[in-house]
Amino acid sequence: MNRRRNMPRQGFEKLSAVLTEIVGPSDRQTTMLIMQQMFAAILSPIVKGTFAQKHKSMDAEEQLISASVEEQIDFFLDHYFYKYAARRAES
């Protein structure tokens, strides 16, 4: 049972380590802000699409995102971290 509680924390710490590797050393608050923005950017289209499908008051087709979660993550990483990739290429 204790292992189950540690799994999300381990994933969270791994993500934090990857973000630190990408953006460089930063304080915990900055890393947390980046993670919050990442989850919001990736999950928001999914939540909006699901909500639109369940509630007929919204036009579901306008809210539906055809990209998979993996495609959304790739898109997010390419656009959010482009400046860090450019710095590495210059080095």
Q: What is the pLDDT of residues 63-89, one digit of tens each?
A: 556 677 788 788 888 887 777 776 666
Q: With beta carbons less than 8 A apart as the criterion, state whether 67 and 75 touch.
A: yes
Q: With beta carbons less than 8 A apart as the criterion, state whether 72 and 38 touch.
A: no
Please tell me the total count of domains within the chain. 1
Q: With beta carbons less than 8 A apart as the criterion, state whether 48 and 63 touch.
A: yes
3-state secondary structure of 91: coil
Range of the domain at 42: 2-90
Nearest to 70 by CA among 41, 40, 42: 42
pTM above 0.75, yes or no: no
> How does the average pLDDT of the chain come out, rounded?
76
